[in-house]
Structure 1
Protein backbone atom coordinates (compact mmCIF):
# COMPACT_ATOMS: atom_id res chain seq x y z
CA UNK A 1 0.00 0.00 0.00
CA UNK A 2 1.38 3.41 -0.95
CA UNK A 3 1.35 6.52 1.27
CA UNK A 4 -1.28 8.06 -1.05
CA UNK A 5 -3.53 5.02 -0.54
CA UNK A 6 -3.07 5.21 3.25
CA UNK A 7 -3.88 8.92 3.24
CA UNK A 8 -7.03 8.23 1.18
CA UNK A 9 -8.14 5.81 3.93
CA UNK A 10 -7.45 8.44 6.62
CA UNK A 11 -8.40 11.79 5.02
CA UNK A 12 -7.65 14.97 6.97
CA UNK A 13 -10.71 17.24 6.88
CA UNK A 14 -9.23 20.10 8.89
CA UNK A 15 -5.94 21.04 10.50
CA UNK A 16 -5.99 23.59 13.31
CA UNK A 17 -3.04 25.29 15.01
CA UNK A 18 -4.15 26.15 18.55
CA UNK A 19 -0.90 27.48 19.93
CA UNK A 20 2.23 28.98 18.36
CA UNK A 21 5.53 29.72 20.08
CA UNK A 22 9.00 30.44 18.78
CA UNK A 23 9.91 26.81 19.58
CA UNK A 24 6.89 24.81 18.41
CA UNK A 25 3.30 24.82 17.17
CA UNK A 26 0.53 22.73 18.75
CA UNK A 27 -2.76 21.72 17.26
CA UNK A 28 -4.88 18.93 15.90
CA UNK A 29 -6.06 17.36 12.68
CA UNK A 30 -9.69 16.32 12.21
CA UNK A 31 -9.26 12.89 10.59
CA UNK A 32 -11.73 10.45 9.13
CA UNK A 33 -10.97 6.90 10.19
CA UNK A 34 -11.43 3.97 7.77
CA UNK A 35 -14.82 3.19 9.39
CA UNK A 36 -16.13 6.67 8.58
CA UNK A 37 -16.09 8.23 12.05
CA UNK A 38 -14.08 11.42 12.62
CA UNK A 39 -11.66 12.12 15.45
CA UNK A 40 -9.16 14.77 16.49
CA UNK A 41 -5.49 13.78 16.47
CA UNK A 42 -3.42 16.22 18.53
CA UNK A 43 0.19 17.07 17.72
CA UNK A 44 3.18 19.22 18.60
CA UNK A 45 5.42 20.42 15.80
CA UNK A 46 8.87 21.36 17.12
CA UNK A 47 11.88 21.35 14.84
CA UNK A 48 13.93 18.24 14.19
CA UNK A 49 16.73 17.35 16.60
CA UNK A 50 19.93 15.36 16.66
CA UNK A 51 21.65 13.15 19.25
CA UNK A 52 25.38 12.68 18.94
CA UNK A 53 27.36 9.59 19.95
CA UNK A 54 30.96 10.80 20.09
CA UNK A 55 33.96 8.65 20.96
CA UNK A 56 37.40 9.99 21.89
CA UNK A 57 40.27 7.75 23.00
CA UNK A 58 38.02 4.93 24.17
CA UNK A 59 35.60 7.24 25.98
CA UNK A 60 32.09 8.33 25.05
CA UNK A 61 31.73 12.11 25.33
CA UNK A 62 28.60 12.95 27.27
CA UNK A 63 27.07 15.97 28.92
CA UNK A 64 25.51 16.38 32.31
CA UNK A 65 22.86 18.99 32.90
CA UNK A 66 19.75 19.77 34.87
CA UNK A 67 16.55 19.60 32.77
CA UNK A 68 13.91 21.87 34.36
CA UNK A 69 10.99 20.27 32.43
CA UNK A 70 11.75 16.88 33.96
CA UNK A 71 13.14 18.33 37.22
CA UNK A 72 16.06 15.92 36.93
CA UNK A 73 19.79 16.02 36.29
CA UNK A 74 20.70 13.85 33.28
CA UNK A 75 23.93 12.39 32.00
CA UNK A 76 23.32 12.09 28.28
CA UNK A 77 24.58 12.23 24.75
CA UNK A 78 24.83 15.77 23.43
CA UNK A 79 21.55 16.70 21.75
CA UNK A 80 20.22 19.78 20.02
CA UNK A 81 18.08 21.35 17.37
CA UNK A 82 18.57 21.05 13.63
CA UNK A 83 18.57 24.57 12.21
CA UNK A 84 16.60 25.32 9.03
CA UNK A 85 18.53 24.14 5.98
CA UNK A 86 20.93 22.06 8.07
CA UNK A 87 21.43 18.31 7.66
CA UNK A 88 21.49 15.99 10.66
CA UNK A 89 25.23 15.57 10.12
CA UNK A 90 25.87 19.33 10.05
CA UNK A 91 23.70 19.85 13.14
CA UNK A 92 25.46 17.00 14.96
CA UNK A 93 28.88 18.44 14.21
CA UNK A 94 27.76 21.93 15.34
CA UNK A 95 25.94 20.78 18.50
CA UNK A 96 28.89 18.60 19.55
CA UNK A 97 31.23 21.58 19.22
CA UNK A 98 28.88 23.99 21.02
CA UNK A 99 27.96 21.70 23.92
CA UNK A 100 31.28 19.92 24.49
CA UNK A 101 33.98 21.84 22.64
CA UNK A 102 34.95 18.71 20.69
CA UNK A 103 35.36 19.05 16.94
CA UNK A 104 34.69 15.95 14.83
CA UNK A 105 36.81 14.99 11.82
CA UNK A 106 34.01 12.68 10.67
CA UNK A 107 30.29 12.33 11.31
CA UNK A 108 27.92 9.65 10.06
CA UNK A 109 24.14 9.56 10.21
CA UNK A 110 23.16 6.24 11.81
CA UNK A 111 19.39 6.64 11.86
CA UNK A 112 16.43 8.98 11.56
CA UNK A 113 13.30 8.19 13.56
CA UNK A 114 10.16 9.62 15.13
CA UNK A 115 10.62 9.59 18.88
CA UNK A 116 6.95 10.05 19.81
CA UNK A 117 3.70 9.40 17.97
CA UNK A 118 2.30 12.87 18.66
CA UNK A 119 5.46 14.82 17.80
CA UNK A 120 5.86 16.02 14.23
CA UNK A 121 9.62 15.92 14.32
CA UNK A 122 12.38 13.54 13.48
CA UNK A 123 15.44 12.82 15.55
CA UNK A 124 18.68 11.98 13.83
CA UNK A 125 21.42 9.93 15.48
CA UNK A 126 24.91 10.91 14.41
CA UNK A 127 28.16 9.11 15.23
CA UNK A 128 31.19 11.40 15.53
CA UNK A 129 34.84 10.41 15.70
CA UNK A 130 38.28 11.80 15.01
CA UNK A 131 37.62 14.25 17.83
CA UNK A 132 39.78 17.20 18.82
CA UNK A 133 39.08 18.80 22.23
CA UNK A 134 38.31 22.51 22.37
CA UNK A 135 36.27 25.15 24.19
CA UNK A 136 32.51 24.94 24.68
CA UNK A 137 30.31 27.55 23.03
CA UNK A 138 26.97 26.99 24.74
CA UNK A 139 23.82 28.99 24.11
CA UNK A 140 22.66 31.58 26.64
CA UNK A 141 20.85 29.77 29.44
CA UNK A 142 22.54 26.44 28.67
CA UNK A 143 24.48 25.02 31.62
CA UNK A 144 26.30 21.91 30.45
CA UNK A 145 29.11 19.95 32.10
CA UNK A 146 31.19 17.72 29.83
CA UNK A 147 31.91 14.21 31.11
CA UNK A 148 33.44 11.14 29.50
CA UNK A 149 32.56 7.53 30.17
CA UNK A 150 34.52 4.45 29.09
CA UNK A 151 32.91 2.92 26.00
CA UNK A 152 32.20 -0.32 27.87
CA UNK A 153 30.24 1.60 30.56
CA UNK A 154 28.26 3.93 28.28
CA UNK A 155 25.05 1.89 27.98
CA UNK A 156 25.04 1.06 31.68
CA UNK A 157 25.45 4.79 32.38
CA UNK A 158 22.58 5.61 30.02
CA UNK A 159 20.35 3.07 31.77
CA UNK A 160 20.98 4.70 35.16
CA UNK A 161 18.09 6.74 36.52
CA UNK A 162 16.86 8.98 35.10
CA UNK A 163 16.97 7.31 31.69
CA UNK A 164 16.13 9.13 28.46
CA UNK A 165 15.56 8.21 24.84
CA UNK A 166 17.91 10.87 23.48
CA UNK A 167 20.78 8.82 24.97
CA UNK A 168 19.78 5.18 25.31
CA UNK A 169 18.49 4.82 21.73
CA UNK A 170 21.58 6.41 20.11
CA UNK A 171 24.00 4.32 22.17
CA UNK A 172 22.12 1.12 21.35
CA UNK A 173 22.17 2.05 17.64
CA UNK A 174 25.91 2.75 17.77
CA UNK A 175 26.51 -0.59 19.52
CA UNK A 176 24.36 -2.37 16.90
CA UNK A 177 26.53 -0.79 14.17
CA UNK A 178 29.70 -2.07 15.92
CA UNK A 179 30.84 1.44 16.85
CA UNK A 180 30.85 0.89 20.63
Structure 2
Protein backbone atom coordinates (compact mmCIF):
# COMPACT_ATOMS: atom_id res chain seq x y z
CA UNK A 1 0.00 0.00 0.00
CA UNK A 2 1.45 3.36 -1.03
CA UNK A 3 0.98 6.05 1.63
CA UNK A 4 3.19 8.71 0.01
CA UNK A 5 0.95 11.78 -0.41
CA UNK A 6 3.18 12.94 -3.29
CA UNK A 7 2.72 9.65 -5.14
CA UNK A 8 1.90 9.82 -8.83
CA UNK A 9 -0.03 6.55 -8.54
CA UNK A 10 -3.44 8.15 -7.97
CA UNK A 11 -2.87 11.57 -9.50
CA UNK A 12 -5.48 12.82 -11.96
CA UNK A 13 -4.30 15.36 -14.51
CA UNK A 14 -6.77 18.07 -15.51
CA UNK A 15 -7.41 18.05 -19.24
CA UNK A 16 -10.12 20.71 -19.28
CA UNK A 17 -11.86 22.89 -16.68
CA UNK A 18 -15.18 24.69 -17.20
CA UNK A 19 -16.55 27.20 -14.71
CA UNK A 20 -20.28 26.55 -14.43
CA UNK A 21 -21.27 29.02 -11.71
CA UNK A 22 -19.60 31.83 -9.75
CA UNK A 23 -21.43 33.11 -6.69
CA UNK A 24 -20.66 35.17 -3.58
CA UNK A 25 -19.69 32.15 -1.50
CA UNK A 26 -18.84 29.34 -3.89
CA UNK A 27 -18.10 28.57 -7.48
CA UNK A 28 -18.68 25.33 -9.34
CA UNK A 29 -16.44 23.92 -12.01
CA UNK A 30 -16.52 20.72 -14.02
CA UNK A 31 -13.13 19.24 -14.79
CA UNK A 32 -12.29 16.55 -17.29
CA UNK A 33 -9.39 14.53 -15.92
CA UNK A 34 -7.03 11.92 -17.29
CA UNK A 35 -6.91 8.93 -14.96
CA UNK A 36 -3.71 6.95 -14.31
CA UNK A 37 -5.15 4.12 -16.46
CA UNK A 38 -5.44 6.47 -19.46
CA UNK A 39 -9.22 6.86 -19.37
CA UNK A 40 -11.01 10.19 -18.86
CA UNK A 41 -13.53 11.09 -16.15
CA UNK A 42 -15.52 14.12 -15.04
CA UNK A 43 -15.18 15.80 -11.65
CA UNK A 44 -17.69 18.34 -10.32
CA UNK A 45 -15.79 20.62 -7.94
CA UNK A 46 -17.08 23.23 -5.51
CA UNK A 47 -14.48 25.97 -4.91
CA UNK A 48 -14.75 27.68 -1.51
CA UNK A 49 -12.46 30.28 0.11
CA UNK A 50 -12.30 28.36 3.40
CA UNK A 51 -13.80 29.06 6.80
CA UNK A 52 -12.98 29.44 10.47
CA UNK A 53 -14.90 28.23 13.52
CA UNK A 54 -14.48 28.79 17.24
CA UNK A 55 -15.04 26.38 20.09
CA UNK A 56 -15.52 29.04 22.77
CA UNK A 57 -16.09 28.21 26.42
CA UNK A 58 -17.82 30.76 28.65
CA UNK A 59 -17.75 29.80 32.34
CA UNK A 60 -17.30 26.16 31.36
CA UNK A 61 -20.16 26.18 28.84
CA UNK A 62 -19.92 25.98 25.06
CA UNK A 63 -21.04 29.09 23.16
CA UNK A 64 -23.27 28.15 20.26
CA UNK A 65 -25.72 29.79 17.92
CA UNK A 66 -28.99 28.37 16.69
CA UNK A 67 -29.97 29.26 13.15
CA UNK A 68 -32.09 28.03 10.27
CA UNK A 69 -30.14 26.26 7.52
CA UNK A 70 -31.99 26.40 4.21
CA UNK A 71 -30.17 23.50 2.48
CA UNK A 72 -31.32 21.21 5.33
CA UNK A 73 -34.70 22.93 5.91
CA UNK A 74 -34.13 22.89 9.67
CA UNK A 75 -32.54 24.78 12.53
CA UNK A 76 -29.14 23.67 13.77
CA UNK A 77 -27.16 24.47 16.88
CA UNK A 78 -23.60 25.27 15.82
CA UNK A 79 -20.37 26.76 17.05
CA UNK A 80 -19.72 30.26 15.63
CA UNK A 81 -18.18 30.08 12.16
CA UNK A 82 -17.95 31.82 8.85
CA UNK A 83 -16.16 31.95 5.54
CA UNK A 84 -12.83 33.63 5.02
CA UNK A 85 -12.84 36.92 3.17
CA UNK A 86 -10.37 37.16 0.28
CA UNK A 87 -6.83 36.99 1.68
CA UNK A 88 -8.07 36.95 5.28
CA UNK A 89 -6.04 35.18 7.95
CA UNK A 90 -8.07 32.27 9.42
CA UNK A 91 -7.41 33.42 13.01
CA UNK A 92 -8.69 36.92 12.21
CA UNK A 93 -11.79 35.40 10.63
CA UNK A 94 -12.36 33.25 13.73
CA UNK A 95 -12.12 36.31 15.99
CA UNK A 96 -14.45 38.30 13.72
CA UNK A 97 -17.07 35.55 13.51
CA UNK A 98 -17.05 34.90 17.27
CA UNK A 99 -17.80 38.53 18.04
CA UNK A 100 -20.25 39.07 15.16
CA UNK A 101 -22.31 36.02 16.01
CA UNK A 102 -22.12 35.87 19.83
CA UNK A 103 -21.11 39.32 21.04
CA UNK A 104 -17.97 37.94 22.76
CA UNK A 105 -14.31 38.57 21.97
CA UNK A 106 -11.53 36.08 22.59
CA UNK A 107 -8.47 37.32 24.46
CA UNK A 108 -6.57 34.44 22.84
CA UNK A 109 -7.34 31.93 20.08
CA UNK A 110 -5.57 28.59 19.78
CA UNK A 111 -5.68 26.57 16.58
CA UNK A 112 -6.90 23.06 17.39
CA UNK A 113 -6.86 21.69 13.87
CA UNK A 114 -7.81 22.34 10.28
CA UNK A 115 -9.57 19.95 7.94
CA UNK A 116 -11.28 19.64 4.59
CA UNK A 117 -15.03 19.47 4.97
CA UNK A 118 -15.94 17.37 1.89
CA UNK A 119 -12.81 16.51 -0.12
CA UNK A 120 -14.73 14.31 -2.56
CA UNK A 121 -16.23 17.37 -4.26
CA UNK A 122 -15.12 20.58 -2.48
CA UNK A 123 -11.86 22.30 -1.59
CA UNK A 124 -13.22 24.06 1.53
CA UNK A 125 -10.74 23.97 4.43
CA UNK A 126 -12.07 24.79 7.89
CA UNK A 127 -9.86 26.05 10.72
CA UNK A 128 -11.07 25.17 14.22
CA UNK A 129 -9.94 27.43 17.08
CA UNK A 130 -10.36 27.26 20.84
CA UNK A 131 -11.00 30.16 23.22
CA UNK A 132 -11.85 30.16 26.93
CA UNK A 133 -10.85 33.69 27.92
CA UNK A 134 -13.70 35.81 26.64
CA UNK A 135 -14.75 39.41 27.14
CA UNK A 136 -17.91 41.22 26.18
CA UNK A 137 -17.90 42.62 22.66
CA UNK A 138 -20.63 43.70 20.27
CA UNK A 139 -22.87 41.21 18.49
CA UNK A 140 -23.27 42.22 14.86
CA UNK A 141 -24.61 39.34 12.73
CA UNK A 142 -24.81 39.62 8.96
CA UNK A 143 -28.01 41.23 7.61
CA UNK A 144 -29.35 37.86 6.48
CA UNK A 145 -28.55 36.00 9.73
CA UNK A 146 -31.06 35.39 12.49
CA UNK A 147 -29.27 33.84 15.45
CA UNK A 148 -30.06 32.75 18.98
CA UNK A 149 -26.94 32.66 21.16
CA UNK A 150 -26.72 30.00 23.86
CA UNK A 151 -24.12 28.78 26.36
CA UNK A 152 -24.68 25.04 26.78
CA UNK A 153 -23.40 22.39 29.16
CA UNK A 154 -21.86 19.12 28.05
CA UNK A 155 -25.11 17.37 29.01
CA UNK A 156 -27.09 19.72 26.77
CA UNK A 157 -24.59 19.21 23.94
CA UNK A 158 -24.96 15.43 24.22
CA UNK A 159 -28.76 15.78 24.22
CA UNK A 160 -28.64 18.03 21.12
CA UNK A 161 -26.37 15.49 19.38
CA UNK A 162 -28.84 12.69 20.14
CA UNK A 163 -31.75 14.80 18.88
CA UNK A 164 -29.97 15.80 15.67
CA UNK A 165 -30.00 19.48 16.63
CA UNK A 166 -26.19 19.45 16.58
CA UNK A 167 -25.74 17.80 13.21
CA UNK A 168 -22.90 19.55 11.38
CA UNK A 169 -19.35 18.20 11.25
CA UNK A 170 -17.56 21.18 12.81
CA UNK A 171 -19.82 21.27 15.86
CA UNK A 172 -19.86 17.49 16.31
CA UNK A 173 -16.05 17.59 16.17
CA UNK A 174 -15.97 20.48 18.64
CA UNK A 175 -18.19 18.63 21.14
CA UNK A 176 -15.96 15.54 21.02
CA UNK A 177 -12.83 17.71 21.32
CA UNK A 178 -14.44 19.37 24.36
CA UNK A 179 -15.13 15.93 25.88
CA UNK A 180 -11.50 14.97 25.35
CA UNK A 181 -10.37 18.27 26.87
CA UNK A 182 -12.53 17.63 29.96
CA UNK A 183 -11.20 14.07 30.30
CA UNK A 184 -7.55 15.07 29.90
CA UNK A 185 -7.63 18.54 31.42
CA UNK A 186 -5.54 19.75 28.47
CA UNK A 187 -5.52 19.73 24.67
CA UNK A 188 -2.45 17.58 24.07
CA UNK A 189 -0.58 14.81 25.82
Q: Give me the TM-score of the superposition, normalised by structure 1.
A: 0.89
Q: Which residue of structure 1 lines up, in the alignment, with residue 23 of structure 2? A: 21
* Cα deviation digits, residues 57-88 of structure 1 (max 9, x gap): 11111101111221101111111111222222
Q: For 2:110 and 2:9, how far apart are their aligned partners in 1?
A: 32
* Cα deviation digits, residues 25-69 of structure 1 (max 9, x gap): 101211111111100111111220122100011111110111122
Q: Give me the TM-score of the superposition, normalised by structure 2.
A: 0.85
RMSD: 2.0
| More displaced stretch, 54-63 vs 77-86 | 77-86
Q: Which residue of structure 2 lines up, in the alignment, with residue 45 of structure 1? A: 47
- Does 2:150 match 1:173? no
Matched residues, number: 179
- Out of 95, 118, 122, the position equivalent to 2:97 is 95
Q: Which residue of structure 1 lines up, in the alignment, with residue 132 of structure 2? A: 129
Q: For 1:136 and 1:64, how far apart are their aligned partners in 2?
A: 14
Q: How does 1:80-159 map to 2 (within 5 A)?
A: 80-116=82-118, 117-159=120-162
Give structure 1 stretches of 5+ with no counterpart: none
Contact (CA 8 Å) 1:155, 1:172: kept in 2 or not? no
Q: Would the alpha carbon gap of residues 140 and 167 (structure 1) be closer, same or farther in structure 2, given more than 3 Å must change?
A: same
- Out of 160, 168, 176, the position equivalent to 1:164 is 168
Give structure 2 stretches of 5+ with no counterpart: none
